[in-house]
Structure 1
Amino acid sequence: MTARDDILARLRPAGGDPAAAYAAIPRPYLRRHHENGLLDLAAERIADYRAAVHRVTEADLPAALAAAFRPGAYVVPDGLPAAWTAGIDAARLAGPDADLEWAAGTVTGCTAVIAETGTIVLDHGPGQGRRALTLVPDHHLVVVRADQIAADVPDALARIDVTRPLTFVSGPSATSDIELSRVEGVHGPRTLEVFLL
């Protein structure tokens, strides 16, 4: 037996169920670091990343989104609840296959938000659209329901399907690579606005 065979044998037990093997891994660490105040913690951490945070009710959401719109059309993915954009002029809303180069922004939902880090998780399912939809337009409006807020990373990972393509968003796109100067909008939206329901 070669060293390679030995390593592979330890990684992949013959005839075993991978899901059962994964579930059997001991996890003695603290699974949840926060129990209460997750909405407040998420709002604080998201704002730390220079994203705008709006706390709204479901009834006030369409007006809040309309007020955040800039001139131009906003791309809306399939599966986004129609009630969220009710009352917004249909001419301002483009379908998911619109030319993203000319879009003013996009409106999406999300899969989860990690309160501890202020990170928004997208799995690009219904209401979230394809990955380019959340990376190309300059203005990203994300709607988050309170029940989507996870306490921390282990809590979030338990809620999401890790086999889907995931995008983790922690504030507007930015880099400090060039002379340690913060530049926003380098490889994604320059402006991120989060609407917490």
Structure 2
Amino acid sequence: MSGTGFHVHGPHDHEVEHAAHGGDSFSSQIAVMTAVFATVGALFGYMAGDTQNRAALYKNNAAIKKTEASNQWNYYQSKSSKQNLSELAMALPGVEVEKYKAEVERYKKEKNDIKTDAEKLEKASADWDEQAEQQMHLHHRWAQAMTAVQIAISLAAIALLTRKKWLEYGSIGVAGVGGLLAVLAAMHI
């Protein structure tokens, strides 16, 4: 602007003003599309993290149950050793055979109860392991969905820079693949 109030726009100034105030529907459409993709991608990312955390928790529960089962099996072995000692004592001369016979029977009963508990704990551990595997599968689906949406956002940015309509359609297509993967994850497939 000159001191006389007369202002001359250069070609660049004109384009900047036109972009700022003009109706560039392509840019607006890409901007809205990118914002929607980013929001959806954030949700997919949350779900991916959630399923991964659940898988870790379930794996931890499996390890705890496995340790408890191992403790029960050690207790079972201890009772077996005591039973064996009682059986050995019955063969010694001058001992009360009936006392040791009663102990052998008591140890047999205790071992059966301990064995039942240990087997239940092993089954619980296996169940937690299976649930952890299922959650990791879902995690992978959610992560794949999120990755597809991130690729769609990148394609949208390239479409905006190059102003290529086919890239916009490609971006929508890749986002659709991400949506399909998310549906599969939500359906536990």
Range into which the TM-score falls when normalised by the shorter chain: under 0.3
* TM-score normalised by structure 1 residue count: 0.21
* TM-score normalised by structure 2 residue count: 0.22
Larger relative helix fraction:
2
Computing the radius of gyration from Cα coordinates, the structure with the larger value is 2
Q: Which of 1 and 2 has higher RCO (CA within 8 Å, sep 6+)?
A: 2
